[in-house]
Structures are given as C-alpha cells and as structure tokens.
Amino acid sequence: MIRFYQHPEFKQNYLSWQRFQDFFNGDNEQIKKYLHRYALEDNSIDGKRAWEQRLGRSYYVNFCEPIISIWISLLFKKPANISQVLDVFTEDELENIDGNNTPLDLFIRNFATEYLKYGKAFMFVDAPTGQSRSAEEDEELGLRPYGEIWTPLEVPDWEIETINAVNRGDFNAIHQQFIRIPPRQSLNEEPRLELVRREAKMTDQGYTVTIYKAMNEQMSTSNMTPEMLFALGLQPETAWVQDGDPIVIPEITEIPAVCGDDRSWLKEVQPLCERYYNLDSNHDNIIYFQGYARIAIATNQTLASIMPASESTMMRLPEGATVTQITAEDPTASEKNRADIRNMIFRVGLNQPRQLDGSSQQVQSAETIREEREFTLALAKETVSDIENLVNQFVEYWAMFKRRPDYEGKIELNKDFSSEDYNEFIQLYTAFADRRALYPTASKQLDKMLIEYLKVPETVQAEINQEIDNTAAVTPGATATIRNTLLGTL
C-alpha cells in the first residue's frame, strides 16, 4: 500500500481556495457553513430550532461570479489571434480542445477564470496511450493531445526542481486527484465513485504517468458524497494502490503542466461577500420576526375570561395587570449597512476604490477619472500578458505531443484596450450601484448592456431582457410598512 501527502503550500491555502470556490459557485447549501451563529442560537431546544429556521431562510446573493465575469469580458472582449498556430492545431482540435467540445478560445477564457478566481490554476496536456512512430501515423490512428484545466484544489502535491539550473522551476512530479465513474459492463450495474490520483513524473526513462486508486474500506459506503470522498483522499491515512502499468513517453522531455501562480482577485472580495451574507441573513431575520410584534399582559386571569375580553371593542384588564409591548425592530440601519457593503464589494472587486457612491452629490474630478482609467487599463494589459505567456507554454507542450519540440508559433491575446472599453467597464460597475433604482429606465438599460456585454446566448438574452422589462422599479432606501393585524385592532 502507498501513502500520499499534501504539499505545504496546499495545506496553507486549502481553506482560502475552498472559500473562493464556494463563494464563486454560489451553491446555497454549500455556503451555509459560513453563516455565523448567534449567541441565542445555542444547543438548547429553542436555540437549535431558531438556528435551523434561520438556516432555512438565509439565501446567498452571488457577487463573486459577476465580478470575475466582468473582468473576463473586458480582458477577452476581442478574440485571440491564432493564425501562427494553425499548423499545430487541426480544425477538430480548435473546436474540441479538451474532448468535451470546448473550443480553444473558450478553453483559454475558462483557464483565465480559474486563474483570477484562485490566483493559481493549471493547464495540462494529455494524450491517449497508443504507440506510434510518427506524427503522420498519430493522425492516421486518431491519436491526438487533449487539454485539461486543473484548479489548485485538484493538485494536492508536487515537486519543483530547485537545484539543477537547466530545469530550475520545472515540475519534477505533480499529483492530480479526481473522482471518476469506472466503466460498467451494463447499465444494470449501479454506478460507483472511484477516487483516483494521477502522478506525472520525470524518470530516467522519460516522462512517466502512473494512475493510483484509493483503497479504503470506508469508500465502499453508498451514502458517501463526492465531497466526502474527495476529502478522504487528502488524508495521509488513506491507502493507495497502483492501477495498471506506468505509461512512459520518452519523447516528452518535460512534464506538460503549465502553472499560473499569482494572487486571487477574490482575496479582498470574498471576505466582504461573507460579511454581506451574514448581514443579509440578520436583516431577513429582523424582517421575519416583525410579524411576531405583539402586546403581552401579565395577569392572573383564566384563559376563558381573557378570550372574550380580547374580542371586545373596549378591553377591560384586572387591577394591577402589567402591559408590555414588544415593538418591531427598525431595519433602516441594517439596510444602510448592507448597502454600504454591496457598494464596497464592487468598488474593491473592480479596482475602483475612489468611485463615488451613487447617492453622493459630489462629482469625480477629471484627474481622478483619468488616473483610475489608466490604472484599470494597465492592470488589464498586465494580466492579459501573463495569461498569454501561460497559454503559449501550453501550445509548446501541445506541439511536443505532435513531435515538434522546437515549435515557435504563438497565440496573441488582445492587449489594445481603449477608453471606450473602460467606459463600458465602468457602466457595468454603475449597473450594480445601489442607488441606480432612482432612475428605473436607465437602470434597465444598464442591465441589458450588462447581459449583452457578458455575451449571453441570444435565446437566453431575449428571455432575460423580457424579465428586466417586466420588473417593477424599487425606490432605494424604502422599507415596506409591516403591519400586525392584532396590533391594528387594539
């Protein structure tokens, strides 16, 4: 039996990466583990009941995904220039780079999304195990490379060369962990999950790929979720066994894995979103309990005598009775706090720290606008340049599998951003401003521009635009009057 472990960097960043994933994906059930518990929601019967009720009512509003999508739309507004690499990618490969019908341009955008989301992402080139003697024979047999994108959560361990100056910084070995459903003889068999690690490693024989399966008695349980199974694979106690013989490809001189390693663009945004989620839950809790506002009377009267008294126009109370009114809470302060956090999320996420709130009577100076425009466009150009370098490393590995080790063709990403691009970018930011509802017509037009800018499919876009047109405008800052029918009769 074999044991595997976690790289120190993986251990250090695992919880942060998990948070970025959860808040980006926006699954309401997964996100509930980040809800903070009130002191009154203790382990008593009433405390547990209150906690369970609030868990059921709380709903997560996803801001992380729109922020990353806005950046991706700016960075990839214009298509990449692939004219120099058409001799290494076939037409079929350009339209299906990963075996899942993903075009090359979308594959690059997907990688960029993971790169911005986590601050670390991988592109990997894989190929079938069939043996051939030439690139022409590979093509005749239908043997071709495939591209994969790995998130950092899928790569628990690796080793990078630090001594040999020639290969310094290259991977000596890397592990990818994933879950698969093994082939079945018939659909009469129940599908089962299998935890797998793929080890890519440089050996004396050359590039070597070995597959390992987890062998743990707990994994035979039918009620284990994929998340539970994957987490079990990260434990050192889990035993692994080799699945088949290693695959050795002598022609490949490097591990064909590209790693983009920088800083997550959600690093400051995610904590704000987590704070907003808890504030939003608290606000909903306040609104929910408005319906319980009531008047309590402490008296020694019997229930039978109280009931007819409560139905009378004039209520008669016994001498010495204590009347206590449980008033409704004013949600104004809570709403203002939520609005401030919402505005801060997009100011931070879109790098517009000096952008004025929509309710402000002030106007940004021309100098401030110019500085923020230049900063944003410079950041966009720098980011696209980094992604372009990573993509071209991927192209080099792709060409290596096509038996062209010295390939020099490059993909060129657009880095020519204009003031018009920036203006559209700011319009997307403005579309999310809290006070935009003061101008309902402009608000709806900005929403439509956002949908068009994000390149939503036409059929979906028409449906969304219809929803926007049919939505009634809401006056910002207004709070609905909450009435209690019992209090209204007293």
The string of DSSP codes covering 78-116 is: S--B-GGGTTTS-HHHHH-SSSSS--HHHHHHHHHHHHH
CA atoms of 81 and 424, how far apart (whole Å): 23
Which residues are CB-neighbours of 350 under 8 A, at least 6 positions away?
Answer: 67, 70, 71, 376, 425, 428, 429
Q: What is the pLDDT of residue 359?
A: 47
CA distances from 69 to 20, 36, 175, 377, 428 (A): 14, 28, 29, 16, 11
Which residues are CB-neighbours of 320 under 8 A, at least 6 positions away?
Answer: none
Q: Is residue 424 part of a domain?
A: no
CA distances from 41 to 44, 59, 170, 277, 306 (A): 8, 18, 51, 18, 33
CA atoms of 337 and 156, how far apart (whole Å): 39
Q: Is residue 469 part of a domain?
A: no
**Selection from 343, 340, 336, 366 nearest residue 429 by Cα:** 343
Q: What is the pLDDT of residue 224?
A: 77
- Degrees (nearest 5) of the Cα angle 408, 413, 414? 140
Q: Which spans in 402-457 are helix H? A: 419-431, 440-453
Span of 17-26, 47-56, 128-137 with lowest mean pLDDT: 128-137
Residue 132 amino acid letter = S
What confidence category does residue 77 fall into, taking pLDDT thresholds of 50, 70 and 90?
Answer: confident
Average pLDDT over residues 122-138: 71
Q: Is residue 102 part of a domain?
A: yes
Condensed to tens digits (0 to 9), the pLDDT of residues 187-231 reads 998 888 889 999 999 999 999 999 999 986 555 556 678 888 888
Which residues does residue 429 pair with via DSSP β-bridges, in sequence order? none
Which residues are CB-neighbours of 84 under 8 A, at least 6 positions away?
Answer: 409, 410, 411, 412
What confidence category does residue 393 fall into, taking pLDDT thresholds of 50, 70 and 90?
Answer: very high
- Is 66 within 8 Å of 24 (Cβ atoms)? no
CA atoms of 287 and 328, how far apart (whole Å): 9
CA atoms of 440 and 465, how far apart (whole Å): 14
What confidence category does residue 283 fall into, taking pLDDT thresholds of 50, 70 and 90?
Answer: confident
Is 460 a residue whose pLDDT tops 80? Answer: no
Q: DSSP character for 430?
A: H
CA atoms of 206 and 195, how far apart (whole Å): 26
Is 148 a residue whose pLDDT tops 70? Answer: yes
Structure-block tokens of residue 361: 């009577």
Map tokens 């035979």 to a residue.
220
With 0-12 / 13-18 / 19 or more C-beta atoms within 10 angstroms meaning exposed / middle / buried, residue 435 is middle
* Domain region containing 229: 2-64+78-261
Condensed to tens digits (0 to 9), the pLDDT of residues 85-118 reads 999 999 999 999 999 999 999 999 999 999 999 9
Average pLDDT over residues 309-316: 51
Q: Is residue 455 part of a domain?
A: no
Is 455 a residue whose pLDDT tops 70? Answer: no
Q: What is the pLDDT of residue 13?
A: 96
Count Cβ atoms below 10 Å from residue 308 Cβ, excluding itself: 8
Give whichever of 250-254, 255-259, 480-484 has the largest mean pLDDT.
255-259
Q: Is residue 389 part of a domain?
A: no
CA atoms of 266 and 13, how far apart (whole Å): 13
Q: Is residue 418 part of a domain?
A: no
The dihedral of CA 290, 292, 294, 298: what is its sign? negative
Which residues are CB-neighbours of 244 under 8 A, at least 6 positions away?
Answer: 211
With 0-12 / 13-18 / 19 or more C-beta atoms within 10 angstroms meaning exposed / middle / buried, residue 74 is buried
Give phi and psi for 460, each to the nearest 5.
-70, -35
Q: Is residue 239 part of a domain?
A: yes
Whole-structure pTM value? 0.77
CA atoms of 459 and 293, how far apart (whole Å): 47
Q: Is residue 168 part of a domain?
A: yes
Domains identified in the chain, total number: 1
Is 435 a residue whose pLDDT tops 50? Answer: no
Condensed to tens digits (0 to 9), the pLDDT of residues 357-386 reads 444 444 445 565 567 777 778 888 999 999
Instruction: Label residues 139-157 b or e (16+ Cβ within 10 Å = b).
Output: eeeebbbbbbbbbbbbbbb
